[in-house]
């Protein structure tokens, strides 16, 4: 770890006392990497559950509530981007500052940072609510939705729901900042998994009720819903309750589902977290008098985070906009683009999610000058992150054809322009844009040290250049042109520039990086490629075969399973990979001696990470 980078990113640390922060003077901070592993495990578990829930929710809602009400819901809920737009990167700035001050035992500084955050998010909640009301009563009366009273009323109600719950986001940011500062990284991700499951269960109940209402209102005796639910719905439809429900509009049922999901989201995300802060950390935040200087220190950092967020929005939105102008048949082109870009977006989201907790952890380590901990996060944390993301990307690249055939094969059946082989080629091309994930941890480490300006400016510059380049290439190459534009600008602005900058700032040695970070994941990837090649060469391909859904997906699932097992075997063939597996097993089975040593009190100039 570069001494210059550490010293320039933080003020000289005060001697670390045996305290975990403002709230508990007798308890030492828990070890970073062990807690990071626990938090990242729950984040990794939540991500695929969330993706499955999102993909399955679309057909369920369309079948139960119809295209009109479902479209109205998605339209209204799409204005949630106001929250992202008005946030201006303040959440990252707040997490970093609270982590620094908490680790140093600066109670007054923590209270001031939290007061700044609460005041900022209170103002943002008012601005967001005002913007939503402008949409509701200024724009919606002039939209095509106003021609349908039921859809129009549902949109207005959903906009009001977002306005009323807008303060909850700011509260959750403040609460998560405190938990991350205390290195309780696993608390909120653990309940996030439960939230995903319960929200989907609420949707299933709403689908049953909505299907009953649609069927009774249309006087149909036979109808179907999700597998396993038709008998229940038919039984309900034949009762007095079912007949009564048939006279009720379907829109209130959908609104009830959304309200129930929102209550679950707010209750489970804030309730347990606040309990941990009050009872476990014994911390009671106090509102303090804040000055302009307090906001200035947050605003400087949040500005660069906002540039990165803006670059993501521009890069994601510009491609479909270009297709709408540069392609003769934009509907088919956009559908093809959505199909081939979704795996890349899911992989990118997985990589970002798993590296999310690194920044506040680094801020905590830097606050006490723990260069040993920073070194472990830079090399070992990057290795674990690569080990989680690389096999997903390799499998997606290898089996793009069978995946698309199973997922959207019927939608593009018979298409001459966008056949499955062509879509597979485009999907593999798009997956190249996921290569910047290999430096995601290093970017988060640099961010935690406050060295983010170069990365932010490069990301925004890439997004700006992406538009004319993608437009030029699309006119000449079609859909592949817009993908090539994204890939080329991404590799330069999000991989090459950040890699050179962060490696220099963090003083990452190439030999050490290969030995400690890359060799184990690459060994696993090599084993995966060999096993998949041998399985394919044996004649047992991953292509769908048979008539039933189970028969069609079985070859694909077998290939994925064997490839995953081969990756693990190749990974643990390297000594450092075996140590990672042992550490993961110990974390899953319970606390270790290392954990207990990390919780012992102590004094001195720094606290080592013994996880």
Q: Which residues contact 570 (CB under 8 A, 6 or more apart)?
A: 523, 524, 525, 526, 527, 528
Q: Which of 171-180, 239-248, 337-346, 406-415 has the lowest mean pLDDT?
A: 239-248
CA dihedral over 213, 216, 220, 221, signed as positive or negative: positive
* Pairwise CA distance, residues 313 & 85, whole Å: 9
Highest mean pLDDT among 34-48, 184-198, 288-302, 357-371: 184-198
Report the percent of the chain where pLDDT is more than 90: 40
Q: Is the pLDDT of residue 483 over 70?
A: yes
Going by pLDDT thresholds of 50, 70 and 90, the confidence category of residue 14 is very low
Going by pLDDT thresholds of 50, 70 and 90, the confidence category of residue 415 is confident
DSSP classification of residue 145 = G
pLDDT 10s digits, 77-129: 878 777 777 888 888 888 888 988 888 888 888 898 999 989 999 999 999 99
Going by pLDDT thresholds of 50, 70 and 90, the confidence category of residue 494 is very high
Residue 10 is predicted with a pLDDT of 38
Tokens standing for residue 32: 């970073």
Q: Is the pLDDT of residue 216 over 70?
A: no
Tokens standing for residue 325: 């102008």
CA distances from 331 to 42, 104, 302, 314 (A): 38, 56, 38, 21
CA distances from 552 to 109, 162, 321, 421, 538 (A): 59, 42, 35, 18, 19
Q: Which backbone phi and psi does 356 adopt, to 5 degrees?
A: -60, -40
Residue 236 is predicted with a pLDDT of 39
Contact call for residues 273 and 176 (beta carbons, < 8 A):
yes
Q: Is 175 exposed, middle or buried (0-12, 13-18, 19+ CB in 10 A)?
A: buried
Q: Is the pLDDT of residue 604 over 70?
A: no
Q: Which of 31-35, 97-101, 467-471 has the lowest mean pLDDT?
A: 31-35
Helix (H, G, I), strand (E, B) or coil at 544: coil
Residue 608 is predicted with a pLDDT of 38
Tokens standing for residue 234: 């038919």
Highest mean pLDDT among 94-98, 100-104, 400-404, 597-601: 400-404
Going by pLDDT thresholds of 50, 70 and 90, the confidence category of residue 446 is very high
* Pairwise CA distance, residues 316 & 311, whole Å: 8
**Rg for the chain (alpha carbons), in Å?**
26
Q: Which of 20-29, 312-321, 372-381, 497-506 has the lowest mean pLDDT?
A: 20-29
Contact call for residues 609 and 28 (beta carbons, < 8 A):
no
Q: Is the pLDDT of residue 354 over 50?
A: yes
Question: Which ranges of 399-452 does DSSP label H, i.e. alpha helix?
Answer: 400-408, 420-431, 440-448
Q: Is the pLDDT of residue 288 over 70?
A: yes
Q: Is the pLDDT of residue 541 over 80?
A: yes
Going by pLDDT thresholds of 50, 70 and 90, the confidence category of residue 268 is very high
Q: Which residues contact 320 (CB under 8 A, 6 or more apart)?
A: 334, 337
Residue 493 is predicted with a pLDDT of 94
With CA atoms as reference, report the closest residue to 364 among 596, 179, 599: 179
Contact call for residues 184 and 283 (beta carbons, < 8 A):
no
Q: What is the pTM of this model?
A: 0.76
Mean pLDDT across 470-499: 93
Tokens standing for residue 378: 């830079």
Mean pLDDT across 147-167: 90
Report the percent of the chain where pLDDT is more than 70: 84
pLDDT 10s digits, 514-528: 999 999 999 999 999
pLDDT 10s digits, 96-109: 889 888 888 888 88
Q: Which residues contact 171 (CB under 8 A, 6 or more apart)?
A: 118, 121, 270
DSSP string computed for 304-357: HHHHHHHHHHHHHHHHHHHHHHH-SSHHHHHHHHHHHHHHHHHHHHHHHHHTTT
Residue 543, sorted as left (phi over 0), alpha (psi -120 to 50) or beta, turns out to be beta
Residue 565 is predicted with a pLDDT of 96
Mean pLDDT across 4-14: 39
Q: Which of 83-87, 252-256, 348-352 has the lowest mean pLDDT?
A: 83-87
Residue 40 is predicted with a pLDDT of 79
DSSP classification of residue 12 = P
Residue 590 is predicted with a pLDDT of 61
Highest mean pLDDT among 165-174, 280-289, 390-399: 390-399
Mean pLDDT across 207-227: 56
* Pairwise CA distance, residues 365 & 384, whole Å: 19
Contact call for residues 115 and 295 (beta carbons, < 8 A):
no
Question: Which ranges of 491-610 does DSSP label H, i.e. alpha helix?
Answer: 497-505, 510-513, 519-537, 549-572, 575-589, 593-599
């Amino acid at each position: 770890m570069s001494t210059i980078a550490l010293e320039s990113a933080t003020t000289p640390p005060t001697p670390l006392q045996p305290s975990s922060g403002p709230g508990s003077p007798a308890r030492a901070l828990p070890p970073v990497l062990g807690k990071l592993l626990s938090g990242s495990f729950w984040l990794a578990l939540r991500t695929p559950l969330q993706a499955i829930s999102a993909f399955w929710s679309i057909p369920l809602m369309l079948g139960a509530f119809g295209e009109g009400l479902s479209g109205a819901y998605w339209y209204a809920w799409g204005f949630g981007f106001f929250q992202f737009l008005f946030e201006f990167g303040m959440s990252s700035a707040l997490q970093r500052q609270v982590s620094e001050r908490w680790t140093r035992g600066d109670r007054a500084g923590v209270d001031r940072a939290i007061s700044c955050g609460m005041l900022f998010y209170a103002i943002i909640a008012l601005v967001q609510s005002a913007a939503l009301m402008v949409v509701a009563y200024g724009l919606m009366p002039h939209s095509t939705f106003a021609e349908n009273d039921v859809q129009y009323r549902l949109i207005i109600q959903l906009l009001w729901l977002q306005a009323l719950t807008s303060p909850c986001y700011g509260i959750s940011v403040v609460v998560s900042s405190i938990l991350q500062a205390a290195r309780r990284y696993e608390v909120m991700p653990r309940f996030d998994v439960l939230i995903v499951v319960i929200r989907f269960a609420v949707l299933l109940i709403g689908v049953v009720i909505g299907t009953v209402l649609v069927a009774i209102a249309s006087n149909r005796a036979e109808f179907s819903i999700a597998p396993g639910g038709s008998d229940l719905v038919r039984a309900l439809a034949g009762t007095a309750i079912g007949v009564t429900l048939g006279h009720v509009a379907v829109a209130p049922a959908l609104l009830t589902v959304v309200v129930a999901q929102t209550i679950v989201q707010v209750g489970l995300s804030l309730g347990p977290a606040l309990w941990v802060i009050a009872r476990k950390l014994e911390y009671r935040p106090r509102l303090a008098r804040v000055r302009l200087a307090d906001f200035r220190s947050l605003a400087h950092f949040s500005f660069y985070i906002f540039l990165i967020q803006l670059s993501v929005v521009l890069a994601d939105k510009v491609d479909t906009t270009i297709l709408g102008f540069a392609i003769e048949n934009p509907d088919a082109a956009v559908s093809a683009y959505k199909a081939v870009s979704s795996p890349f977006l899911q992989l990118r989201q997985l990589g970002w999610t798993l590296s999310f907790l690194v920044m506040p952890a680094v801020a905590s380590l830097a606050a006490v000058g723990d260069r040993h901990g920073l070194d472990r996060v830079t090399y070992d944390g990057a290795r674990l992150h690569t080990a989680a993301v690389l096999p997903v990307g390799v499998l997606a690249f290898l089996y793009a054809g069978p995946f698309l055939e199973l997922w959207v094969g019927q939608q593009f059946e018979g298409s001459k322009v966008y056949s499955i082989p062509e879509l597979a080629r485009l999907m593999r091309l798009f997956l190249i844009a996921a290569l910047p994930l290999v430096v995601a941890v290093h970017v988060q480490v640099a961010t935690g040290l406050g060295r983010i300006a170069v990365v932010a400016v490069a990301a925004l510059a890439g997004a700006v250049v992406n538009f004319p380049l993608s437009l030029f290439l699309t006119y000449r190459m079609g859909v592949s042109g817009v993908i090539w534009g994204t890939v080329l600008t991404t590799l330069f602005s999000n991989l090459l520039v950040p890699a050179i900058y962060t490696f220099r700032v963090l003083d990452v040695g190439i030999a050490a990086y290969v030995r400690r970070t890359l060799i184990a994941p690459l060994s696993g990837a090599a084993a995966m490629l060999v096993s998949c090649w041998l399985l394919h060469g044996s004649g047992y391909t991953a292509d769908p075969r048979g008539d039933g859904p189970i028969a069609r997906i079985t070859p694909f699932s077998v290939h994925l399973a064997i490839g995953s097992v081969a990756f693990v075997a190749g990974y643990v063939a390297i000594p450092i990979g075996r140590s990672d597996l042992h550490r993961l097993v110990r974390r899953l089975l319970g606390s270790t001696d290392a954990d207990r040593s990390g919780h012992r009190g102590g004094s001195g100039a720094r606290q080592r990470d013994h996880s």
